[in-house]
Structure 1
Amino acid sequence: MDDRVTGIEVRYFAAAADAAGRDKETIELPGGADLAALRAVLIDRHGFDMERILSVAAFLVEPGDAVGSAALTRDLTVEAGPRVDVLPPFAGG
């Protein structure tokens, strides 16, 4: 991580939106923060329901550069990009 602070747009879907009480918000984190740091802030802000959802959710991370493509991951060591979508498991078929 570095000394700069960056705003990460977090978009919530399905049960994650219910737990957050909103569809999106901006979270301020130090530059280079990983998904584990983002997860900790989200749990601190939104409580047990969010913790339960994040334990099974995947993250769609937009890259910090314009060249890469978004990556779907559950790896909390991945650097949080400028936009992160929280995707709980979806039912259906």
Structure 2
Amino acid sequence: MVTVRYFAGAKAAAGVSSESVALNDGDTVRDVLALLTVRHGAALARVLDASSLLLDEVAVRDRSLRLPAGATLDVLPPFAGG
């Protein structure tokens, strides 16, 4: 299992603040994002494409990275601040 936490616009698009996703052996960040797109639809897919991701608080630059069981994946959409 991996825990996915959504922030700001990602939370709105997913309709939940977090969820658990069952992993298959060898699943990657890309695999989990594809599953989330199927679960939540096109609105979340657009947010995921533009979002930064953190895996256990470390920035993910390679979406082919394998996910370890028990990990936390944070979805951080772009936002304006001031």
The equivalent residue for 2:63 is 76
Task: Return the match for 1:14 from 5, 8, 18.
Answer: 8
Report the number of matched residues: 80
* More displaced 10-residue stretch of structure 1: 72-81 or 9-18: 72-81
The equivalent residue for 2:21 is 27
Contact 1:57 1:74 in 2 (8 A): no
Structure 2 runs not aligned, ≥5 long? none
Instruction: Specify whether residues 61 and 45 from structure 1 end up closer, same or farther in structure 2 by C-alpha distance, changes over 3 A only.
Output: same
- RMSD, aligned CA: 1.2
SS in 2 for 1:29: coil
Identity, % of aligned positions: 39
Normalising by structure 1, we get a TM-score of 0.79
> Where does structure 1 differ by over 3 angstroms across 4 or more consecutive aligned residues?
none
| Higher-RCO chain (CA-CA 8 Å, sequence separation at least 6) | 2
How much has 1:42 moved relative to structure 2? 0.5
The structure whose residues are more often helix, as a share, is: 2
Normalising by structure 2, we get a TM-score of 0.89
User: For residues 39 and 64 of structure 2, what CA distance do their matches in structure 1 show?
Assistant: 20
The structure with more radius of gyration? 1
Q: Deviations over 1:33-88 (max 9, x none)?
A: 111101100000000001100111011101xxxxxxx3112421122241100110
Structure 1 runs not aligned, ≥5 long? 1-6, 63-69
